[in-house]
Amino acid sequence: MNFASDNTCGAAPEMIEALRIANGGAVPSYGEDGLSARLKAELARLFEHDVAVYPVITGTAANALALSTLVPPHGAIFCHREAHIATDECGAPELFTQGATLVTLAGLHGKISPDALEQATSRFVRGSVHHAQPAAASITQVSEMGTCYRHDEVRAIAEIARRHGMKLHLDGARLANAIAFLGCTPAEATWKAGVDTVSFGMSKNGALAAEAVVFFHPEEVRDFEFRRKRFGHLISKMRFVAAQLLCALENDRWLHWARSANARARLLAGILRDIADVEVVHPVDANLVFATLPESLILKLRSAGAKFYDWSPPERGRRLVRFVTSFATSQSEIEQLRAACA
Amino acid sequence: MNFASDNTCGAAPEMIEALRIANGGAVPSYGEDGLSARLKAELARLFEHDVAVYPVITGTAANALALSTLVPPHGAIFCHREAHIATDECGAPELFTQGATLVTLAGLHGKISPDALEQATSRFVRGSVHHAQPAAASITQVSEMGTCYRHDEVRAIAEIARRHGMKLHLDGARLANAIAFLGCTPAEATWKAGVDTVSFGMSKNGALAAEAVVFFHPEEVRDFEFRRKRFGHLISKMRFVAAQLLCALENDRWLHWARSANARARLLAGILRDIADVEVVHPVDANLVFATLPESLILKLRSAGAKFYDWSPPERGRRLVRFVTSFATSQSEIEQLRAACA
Amino acid sequence: MNFASDNTCGAAPEMIEALRIANGGAVPSYGEDGLSARLKAELARLFEHDVAVYPVITGTAANALALSTLVPPHGAIFCHREAHIATDECGAPELFTQGATLVTLAGLHGKISPDALEQATSRFVRGSVHHAQPAAASITQVSEMGTCYRHDEVRAIAEIARRHGMKLHLDGARLANAIAFLGCTPAEATWKAGVDTVSFGMSKNGALAAEAVVFFHPEEVRDFEFRRKRFGHLISKMRFVAAQLLCALENDRWLHWARSANARARLLAGILRDIADVEVVHPVDANLVFATLPESLILKLRSAGAKFYDWSPPERGRRLVRFVTSFATSQSEIEQLRAACA
Amino acid sequence: MNFASDNTCGAAPEMIEALRIANGGAVPSYGEDGLSARLKAELARLFEHDVAVYPVITGTAANALALSTLVPPHGAIFCHREAHIATDECGAPELFTQGATLVTLAGLHGKISPDALEQATSRFVRGSVHHAQPAAASITQVSEMGTCYRHDEVRAIAEIARRHGMKLHLDGARLANAIAFLGCTPAEATWKAGVDTVSFGMSKNGALAAEAVVFFHPEEVRDFEFRRKRFGHLISKMRFVAAQLLCALENDRWLHWARSANARARLLAGILRDIADVEVVHPVDANLVFATLPESLILKLRSAGAKFYDWSPPERGRRLVRFVTSFATSQSEIEQLRAACA
């Protein structure tokens, strides 16, 4: 019953097998190998668009490298105040960009609204050297609160970004879960809705450690490859990162895994909702469940071996907690939780 | 016949098996897992010293993170002019340190001499804000030219470093090959000779992608963990990096692999030395062979399928080239080369 | 009738005379001169405390150098969302600190409240490398809205800062105006209320270009001098910056100038308050007046030659504007404004 | 007898007068004033070329801002190993550029040779992310050894720079002295010889603190203004920096001052050359004299009140020292030195 995060599980067994197969013989290093080439072709096919693809091994690296390529040092980046880049990367975006300004926005259920974005950008005087210059909006899909932006929401944000000369970045650490929920194509979830660049994550969805920065507009790649090298993220035996991403895409495994995780989360949310004293506080679009539980229940669940994170300090005997499911969450874990709740 | 680099081969099959075994069940992420704890204990045992251990996945990250922890932004780092940190990391040390000064020294066969270090440090006025302040020396073991520092050479450099208040960093991307050649213990190769911090590499020696920064003095760790996170190098499923390093250490595999690579390089050098028109230009201490070959021979070898790097432009019909062997280089590859030379 | 800013006026004539006097003969450069030594002594006397004093020539440099000395790259800095460091320095604090996180707080009339600070710091988990670590609070005195923190307000903020291991920085671009208003000593306005480090500004109050970073705790100076040099702020003929600051302190000129500016602002606010359709929106503690005016009045004033900044877009025929007075604002300018309002 | 540096003297009295005149009335801040506009026009006239002009107040800021605008973070900058940017700015170029690589070249009498530049650039593989990419050459005119590049020398360097896609930066902290020596026009000394961007210094030549970055190609200005602001170098009362530069240009004062300094240096060098045991080691093109003196003579001169810098540790009873003259060096100071030498 480990619901602490979708990175506490290991990798899918298929991943290990993919590494074993990729391991035969000598190939050029630093991404000049055949698997890396195949990955680029597969992602172009998947996204139905020309893409530039750069594998890395952490989401923080993917986000910070992508943003520092899209945004000048004097740029401003707009994101939700709970966005991973604002709260969980310890200043990596500011570091990689040589000091760009992160502007954090409030917004219901972890999503920024077009209005909030429009209003926030208006505070920055264009062309004034005293003010950071609006340069990018970054949205997280699935959001940190477990919700998904709908296409029209993304399009509205993209439209404002365009109007203000900003790029739209999508932190897709859980993009698979969003696509599984939305029932759309990867193209619809990204460039067709106006997204320019994606941090395409697989580390939370079956891989050992594999992400890719995907650019839909080659002219925006600029000096990305130099940045990746200089920040220490150019892996010599790159075939092993490509192999993981290819393994996930093969037979749509990534979406099967995400659908499984989402389904488990829905079940888990249902169990919680059936308890009188529990409130599920955000829509459960994907694989994250946020709920306020009485301390007694929290204690009971933990005594039964359930792992999950506190998300707030206790208040009047209750507390907000977070449950995360993953591709590896089993039906029996859900049933154990149900039993523990009883 | 791939002698291009020791990163063009794959990983040792034992590595894949180690990943498979490490893959069972849920464990805490970000290095709080049992394998990461075991790695620290194993390295303490191996080095016969308390250590702080931080796994990362590239040598550039290991070096730049280590140096930026040891050196303030106004510091100067002294290294050989052919050192990896000076020539092959595209400015990563300067980036990570917020602009420290790299001072490059000439030196025979890729090694800096104590005298050159002493003389170079004397140019920087202590306490003057106009001058970078000597803060670290960095040596590479095996050096980029394939040679190994002897203990007394390291000790002499360490002594100068100490006298000038500098730390001694060792880029150990090929430390296994050096220890295999020197026939010493890891302790003798490092802290017993005065080394403070090691970039302990395994990516060139059997691993998929695994390095560790090893500090012998805990007080020098300072904000390393924040740096690793902020530069995007804190991997969530850290057990998989620890598993690779543990696999290498188990049964001294890392030294067996290194001995094999070194032995193949000696054979290869012997083959070249037997050819009248070829000169092996540096001592072949480890797994790198530098030699000047006539263009006709270069052409012949490449036609036969041998891969190796040019190391200089052609000059009077000859050219400096580099051959690298690895744990994966087979006896038959060496025999193929011998045949191709004939 | 120039109320655009307190930096559109020139310098006090005494300043030019001070430069003329300082100009005789050869003296050591880079702050080793006698005037720089006298400045340190004068500021120690003024603040009734040992001080480390470092002159620079812009407020942005003073703030960013001070903060980057107090705060590590993984630190978080808490300030009002309208603070100069957050809105008018184009990311300089993030740049100088190598990417520290700026956390902006709402707060009435440009001042942060102790409660808001307490609450904001609670969101950052101590010791977690995923989270920026609370490292400094920065308050602006006079605030950007023209209000002054009272001693107990500063003390309450300082107390929270201390409790959380944070330093308290004071952006004193208009500290003279605050001290003139509060009727307190410089010591009471700063270290006696718990302030650790001050950006002591004079450029807005009589000088050509002169600020000083004043540390009350020498151990916090750390590598400030190297930072000042490396960011290009170590002036060779430093005596000319020291001369300006000494000129201001001599005979308490800086306070006379500030009192004059404050008095003119009070008059100006009084004129505006007497107009039915005008609302002065913040207390006028010092030399800044914020008021909403009908567009017709704005037009009338500008036609009469008055200069002042718009502070918001127009809304229902009204607009927020800002008037600033300085040491150089004359009684006749105020009378001209009164006439223009009529 | 202060020959320590050309920044130990004060400013020319005309400078103080110019500040006094500039001080009347209110004008827009941050360089939007009339004097700043006039400065741009004057420099365009002086250089016979369209220019973009950005005043700053230190040479380190001018150089580091210029270079960080011309060079990407992954760029390499080539300069003499004794260049100010390499030895006296404590890593400012590396800091401002976010870690670009400084490549230092040996070269006779403080000047780099075209051959050395050509050879050094050839070590960097174009397009390889492992290697810094040649991006700028920086020459110092007058060099740190007091010598001047001749036009054909600059042109040859510029030609190599162009061929390799590099910009040519000129550190003109003492450009006036060079032009006075060469007897050429400012245009001939700069863009006509292939220079792209100049750090145009006046702080060592009559000003209190005034430099300007001068771009001859507007498209290379890019985000310079944002950089200047973010590094804290945008002065609010900019008129006072413009006033200093205009004062220097008026009636060619800057060249008169430089000619006077150069003439004094030639006299000084003549006095030294007449002493049997003294060797003047570099051509005295401008206002710097480097000579080896017996320790006894050094002691005698210092006892007589002469100030000058040691430039080497003592060796066999002799030592290299540096004498600097300035616009303020008087004939009588020279005569005092002559007397002291006798």
The interface predicted TM-score (ipTM) is 0.97
pTM: 0.97
pLDDT at residue number A99: 97
Predicted confidence band at A208 (pLDDT cuts at 50, 70, 90)? very high
Interface residue A332 vs chain B (CB under 8 A): no
CB contact under 8 A, B129 and C228: yes
Neighbours of chain B (3+ CB pairs under 8 A): A, C, D
CB contact under 8 A, A100 and C91: yes
Q: What is the average pLDDT score of chain C?
A: 97
Looking at the predicted structure, is the pLDDT value of residue C207 above 90? yes
Per DSSP, chain C holds a count of helices (H) and strands (E) of: 14, 11
Over range A168-173, report the average pLDDT. Answer: 98
CB contact under 8 A, B130 and D88: yes
The percent of residues in chain B predicted with pLDDT above 70, rounded, is 100
Q: How many C×D Cβ pairs under 8 Å? A: 155
Cα–Cα distances in Å, from A190 out to A168, A218, C39?
A: 10, 15, 60
DSSP states along A246-280: HHHHGGGHHHHHHHHHHHHHHHHHHHHHTSTT-EE
**Amino acid occupying residue A32:** E
d(CA C38, CA B111): 51
CB contact under 8 A, D232 and C237: no
Choosing among B30, B56, B71, B98, which should be mutated to test the C contact, i.e. which has the most C CBs within 10 A? B98
pLDDT at residue number C24: 83
Tell me the chain C residues in contact with residue B69 when contact means C-beta distances shorter than 8 Å.
none
pLDDT tens for C71-86 read 999 999 999 999 999 9
pLDDT tens for D121-140 read 998 999 999 999 999 999 99
pLDDT tens for C108-160 read 999 999 999 999 999 899 999 999 999 999 999 999 999 999 999 999 999 99
Looking at the predicted structure, is the pLDDT value of residue A205 above 90? yes
Over range B160-184, report the average pLDDT. Answer: 98
Predicted confidence band at D261 (pLDDT cuts at 50, 70, 90)? very high
Over range A250-271, report the average pLDDT. Answer: 98
Contact A289, A326 (CB under 8 A): no
Interface residue D225 vs chain A (CB under 8 A): yes
Instruction: Report the residue of chain A nearest B19, measured CA to CA.
Output: A16
Over range B69-76, report the average pLDDT. Answer: 98
Looking at the predicted structure, is the pLDDT value of residue C241 above 90? yes
C-alpha distance from A250 to closest chain C C-alpha (Å): 33
Instruction: Report the residue of chain B nearest C226, measured CA to CA.
Output: B129
Tell me the chain C residues in contact with residue D16 when contact means C-beta distances shorter than 8 Å.
16, 19-20, 23
Helices B253-273 and B175-182, axial angle in degrees (round to 10): 80
Over range A260-282, report the average pLDDT. Answer: 97
Instruction: Report the residue of chain A nearest D126, measured CA to CA.
Output: A226
CB < 8 Å from B in window 191-220 of C: none
Pairing of strands D167-172, D133-140: parallel
pLDDT at residue number D326: 97
pLDDT tens for C9-67 read 999 999 999 999 999 899 999 999 999 999 999 999 999 999 999 999 999 999 999 99
Interface residue C332 vs chain D (CB under 8 A): no
Predicted confidence band at A24 (pLDDT cuts at 50, 70, 90)? confident
pLDDT at residue number D303: 97
CB contact under 8 A, C129 and B72: no
Looking at the predicted structure, is the pLDDT value of residue B155 above 90? yes
Predicted confidence band at B219 (pLDDT cuts at 50, 70, 90)? very high
Interface residue C123 vs chain A (CB under 8 A): yes
CB < 8 Å from C in window 101-120 of A: 101-102
pLDDT at residue number C342: 87
Which of B9, B208, B232 is the closest to A60 by Cβ? B232
pLDDT tens for A143-164 read 999 999 999 999 999 999 999 9
pLDDT tens for D139-163 read 999 999 999 999 999 999 999 999 9
Interface residue D165 vs chain A (CB under 8 A): no
Residues β-bridged to residue C199: C171, C213
Tell me the chain A residues in contact with residue B29 when contact means C-beta distances shorter than 8 Å.
5, 7-8
CB contact under 8 A, B223 and C130: no
Residue of B340, B49, B301 whose CA lies nearest to B200: B49
pLDDT tens for D286-311 read 999 999 999 999 999 999 999 999 99
d(CA B192, CA B213): 17
Over range D40-69, report the average pLDDT. Answer: 98
Contact B174, B182 (CB under 8 A): no
Cα–Cα distances in Å, from D281 out to B78, D145, D311, D334, D342?
A: 29, 9, 12, 20, 21
Over range D44-54, report the average pLDDT. Answer: 98
Q: What is the average pLDDT score of chain A?
A: 97
Contact D141, D189 (CB under 8 A): yes
CB contact under 8 A, C230 and D91: yes
Instruction: Report the residue of chain B nearest C232, measured CA to CA.
Output: B130
C-alpha distance from B93 to closest chain D C-alpha (Å): 8
Looking at the predicted structure, is the pLDDT value of residue D235 above 90? yes
The percent of residues in chain C predicted with pLDDT above 70, rounded, is 100
Choosing among A29, A65, A98, which should be mutated to test the D contact, i.e. which has the most D CBs within 10 A? A98
Q: Is B127 exposed, middle or buried (0-12, 13-18, 19+ CB in 10 A)?
A: exposed
pLDDT at residue number C204: 97
Instruction: Report the residue of chain D nearest A98, measured CA to CA.
Output: D98
C-alpha distance from D95 to closest chain A C-alpha (Å): 10
Neighbours of chain C (3+ CB pairs under 8 A): A, B, D
Which of C73, C122, C123 is the closest to A91 by Cβ? C73
